[in-house]
Amino acid sequence: MKFAIGQTERDTWVQHMTTAVGSMHLPDEDSAMLIAYFEHTATFLINRP
């Protein structure tokens, strides 16, 4: 893979995306759905221990 993505990178990205979603003032259900998607996708992209 071109970019090494470990747990730290994954967690940092999810934190930034969670902050971004929070700044949008979406309904709770929509925010939860986006954050769950980002968490799942970020975990899938981990390519190193």
Question: Does residue 1 have a pLDDT over 80?
Answer: no
Which tens digits make up the pLDDT trace of 15-43? 999 999 999 999 999 999 999 999 999 99
User: Which residues have C-beta within 8 Å of that of residue 13, sequence separation ≥ 6?
Assistant: 38, 42
The CA R_g of the chain, rounded to the nearest whole Å, is 12
Neighbours of 38 (CB within 10 A): 19
Q: Is pTM, for the whole model, over 0.85?
A: yes
H helical segments located in the chain? 7-23, 28-44
pLDDT the model gives residue 24: 97
